[in-house]
Amino acid sequence: MHVYHDLRITPSILNADHTNLSAEIAKIAVDSDLIHLDIMDNLFVPNATWDFAAAEKIIANCPIPVDAHLMINDVDRIALDYAHAGAGSVTIHIEAAQTPTQTLRNLRKIGARAGMALKPGTDIESYADLLDEIDMLLIMTVEPGFGGQKFMADMMDKVRKSKVLIGDRPIWIQVDGGVSMETIAIAREAGADTFVAGSAVFNSPDPAEMVKMLRHRASDL
């Protein structure tokens, strides 16, 4: 079974070299906890990435668990396909979900970790009753859609509030967007323990080393 670190680094391959994805993943797989796969449908966000058939191949070939971040409208139906395809974690945006409780329960039933994501404008208080249904809360630190944007430090308030609401439930708190050597400690200090990093990892001359450095910086409070 895959063993996760206490502080998880989940590199996003959104801005990796898509023509050579297995090599890109191989570079970082040893030190990473999960590979973060950003799925966009050009409806929920103004950008499109892999369709399900392509994503299924990535999941099947990935040497470590895949963390599917679904930025799509028809999420209640498609999320279960990702779980059946073998994604280790499947995250749905609460703004897109029509039947969140049922979808999150079904994800767990299929054997995936169930994640709930909040866009920057979405508060956690309104969804506190869903905390019993999830294994991970994703707090976006950019508007979803693109890599390489600036980390929104004003989301740390939401991270702190979430940590209080979560209490002793074993829920991971993930941040996604603009996470780098400069910002990861801010997120860790607020209570995040799972970190997506796209451009910080893949724009680095040594992506594998960057994964380790990020985890080290996060542990270094």
Q: Which residues bind Zn ion (CB under 5 A)?
A: 38, 69, 176
By C-beta, is 190 or 196 nearer to ligand DX5? 196
User: Which listed residue (84, 99, 148, 169) binds ligand DX5 by CB under 6 A?
Assistant: 148
Told to check if 36 binds ligand DX5 by CB under 6 A, we report: yes
User: Which listed residue (88, 115, 191, 198) binds ligand DX5 by CB under 6 A?
Assistant: 198
By C-beta, is 69 or 158 nearer to Zn ion? 69
Ordered DSSP codes for 136-187:
EEEEESS-TT-SSPPP-GGGHHHHHHHHHHHTTS--EEEEESS-STTTHHHH
Please confirm, yes or no, whether 135 is among the known catalytic residues. Answer: no
Catalytic residue among 38, 41, 135, 193: 38
- Within 8 A by CB and 6+ apart from 54, the residues are none
Nearest to 127 by CA among 168, 158, 90: 158
Please confirm, yes or no, whether 176 is among the known catalytic residues. Answer: yes
By C-beta, is 69 or 217 nearer to ligand DX5? 69
Q: How far apart are CA 172 and CA 137, in angstroms?
A: 6
Give Cα separations from 57 to 7, 29, 35, 51, 62 (angstroms): 28, 16, 14, 10, 8
By C-beta, is 4 or 146 nearer to Zn ion? 146
Catalytic residue among 33, 67, 176, 193: 176
The DSSP secondary-structure symbol of 197 reads: E
Number of residues that bind ligand DX5 (CB under 6 A): 21
Residues that bind ligand DX5 (CB under 6 A): 12, 14, 36, 38, 69, 142, 144-149, 176-179, 196-200
